[in-house]
């Protein structure tokens, strides 16, 4: 599919008003998206586990308006008006207007909240943009009844990408791939797809315990971060590596080879940070506690043979990944050894999830 396929047919009738509500999860990349071209086109393919507990719930109430010359919306975050989120939403609306030409015809009341604490250092852009994109395509669906379920999810992922790249991997579950890759025929730079090959059951109920090492604002916004890959001395090699790792994961997902899984996932995490450390300007986003956690994970794995590993986002928090079969042992290990490295002892127990859900709207 191309961008043009997401342009809608002329709308026949616009409903006067309505309300929709969606809950979209966060996701954690195994092969990282880092570097992009114009229009949110990724520089390399990525793949992620969709999460379950970490999610954003968003409702959008829409009322037809007279003045159709500009966008109009009110935004509430966790029940309170949130002016500082507005510019991001406005940019998003501008980017997606050609694909949803009804946007200027309505006034919207957007209410959004996260299941995880604000300022936990967990990126909410993936779940937030996915939830909003789903609400907006749902409104389009009430205008154009011919939209199929498959197209609906594809368009939601397509639009979510225009809000935040990784958000396109937060519409579906449980393993989502995004970005053209020769080994995956259905792969696209425009939206996320279900991972099409066999996945060993060991990956079907994987856990992700998110250790909140540092809850402050990110030192580098993802947009700035992605831009650092332009003119980066190692960029081309890195992009090629992401393709190779995706190829390697095919065998790993099929066989359930956790040793190789650990190698690929940890290498991807450290490569992401290596790219930041070797860009100009350069950044170190890991904290001393991040490194201590990593070392403790390595020691624990060495001593016990428990197949746990870590991955990182563009921040200091550590995602600890492990299969269901070792849940008790790892929970104990986290309690005994790792919680001490978390800010105020905070961490979130999450697991692989099945994608976004539509919620019932209760009219007040």
CB of 213 to ligand DP6, least distance (A): 15
* Residue 136 C-beta: closest distance to ligand DP6, Å: 17
Instruction: Give the number of other CB atoms < 10 A from CB of residue 78.
Output: 10
CB 275 within 8 Å of CB 228 = yes
Number of DSSP helices (H) and strands (E) in the chain, helices first: 8, 14
Report yes or no: 97 and 104 within 8 Å, Cβ to Cβ: yes
**What is the Cα 354 distance to its own chain's centre?**
13
- Cα–Cα distance for residue pair 307/24, rounded to 1 Å: 29
In the bound state with ligand DP6, the residue whose beta carbon lies nearer, of 20 and 130, is 130
Of 164 and 209, CB closest to ligand DP6: 164
Nearer to ligand DP6, 127 or 166 (CB): 166
Distance CA 200, CA 209 (A): 21
What DSSP line would sit under 161-199, residue for residue? Answer: HHH-GGGGGSSB-SEEEES-BTTBTT--SSSEEE--S--
Strand partners, 80: 77
Nearest distance, CB of residue 328 and ligand DP6, angstroms? 29
Nearer of residues 61 and 222 to ligand DP6, judged by Cβ: 222
Q: How far is the CB of 163 from ligand DP6 (least distance, A)?
A: 7
Nearer to ligand DP6 (CB atom), residue 72 or residue 278: 278
- The least distance separating ligand DP6 from the CB of residue 46, rounded to whole angstroms, comes to 5
Q: Residue 145 CB, nearest distance to ligand DP6 (Å)?
A: 32
Cis peptide before 281 (omega within 30 of 0): yes
Of 33 and 203, nearer to ligand DP6 (C-beta) is: 33
Closer to ligand DP6 by Cβ: residue 59 or 170: 170
| Smallest gap from residue 167 Cβ to ligand DP6 (A) | 6
Report the candidate in 261, 271, 142 with the shortest Cα–Cα distance to residue 199. Answer: 261
How far apart CA 81 and CA 118 sit, in angstroms, is 15
Residue sitting closest to ligand DP6 (CB): 165
Positions in the binding site for ligand DP6 (CB under 6 A): 29, 32-34, 40, 46, 123, 125, 164-166, 222-223, 226, 272, 313-314
């Amino acid at each position: 599919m191309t961008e043009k396929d997401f342009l809608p047919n002329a709308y026949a009738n616009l409903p006067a008003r309505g309300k929709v509500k969606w809950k979209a999860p966060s996701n954690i990349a195994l092969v990282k998206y880092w570097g992009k071209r114009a229009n949110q086109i990724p520089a390399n393919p990525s793949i992620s586990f969709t999460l379950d507990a970490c999610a954003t719930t968003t409702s959008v109430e829409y009322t037809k308006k007279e003045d159709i010359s500009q966008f109009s919306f009110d935004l509430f975050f966790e029940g309170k008006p949130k002016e500082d989120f507005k510019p991001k939403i406005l940019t998003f609306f501008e980017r997606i207007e050609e694909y949803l030409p009804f946007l200027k015809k309505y006034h919207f009341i957007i209410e959004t909240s996260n299941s995880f604490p604000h300022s936990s250092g967990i990126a909410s852009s993936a779940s937030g943009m996915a939830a909003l994109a789903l609400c907006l395509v749902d409104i389009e669906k009430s205008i154009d009844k011919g939209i199929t379920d498959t197209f609906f999810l594809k368009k939601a992922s397509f639009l979510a990408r225009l809000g935040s790249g990784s958000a396109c991997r937060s519409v579906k579950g449980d393993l989502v791939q995004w970005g053209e890759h020769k080994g995956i025929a259905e792969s696209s730079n425009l939206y996320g797809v279900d991972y099409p090959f066999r996945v060993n059951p060991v990956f079907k109920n994987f856990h992700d315990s998110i250790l909140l090492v540092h809850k402050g604002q990110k030192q580098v916004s993802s947009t700035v971060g992605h831009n650092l890959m332009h003119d980066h001395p190692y960029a081309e090699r890195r992009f090629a590596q992401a393709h190779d790792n995706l190829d390697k994961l095919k065998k790993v997902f099929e066989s359930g080879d956790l040793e190789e899984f650990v190698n690929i996932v940890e290498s991807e995490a450290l490569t992401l940070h290596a790219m930041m450390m070797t860009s100009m300007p350069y950044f170190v986003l890991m904290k001393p506690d991040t490194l201590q956690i990593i070392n403790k994970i390595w020691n624990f794995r060495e001593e016990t043979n428990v197949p746990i590993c870590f991955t990182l986002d563009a921040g200091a928090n550590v995602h600890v990944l492990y299969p269901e079969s070792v849940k008790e042992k790892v929970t104990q290990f986290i309690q005994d050894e790792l919680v001490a490295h978390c800010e105020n002892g905070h961490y979130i127990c999450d697991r692989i999830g099945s994608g976004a859900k539509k919620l019932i709207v209760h009219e007040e």
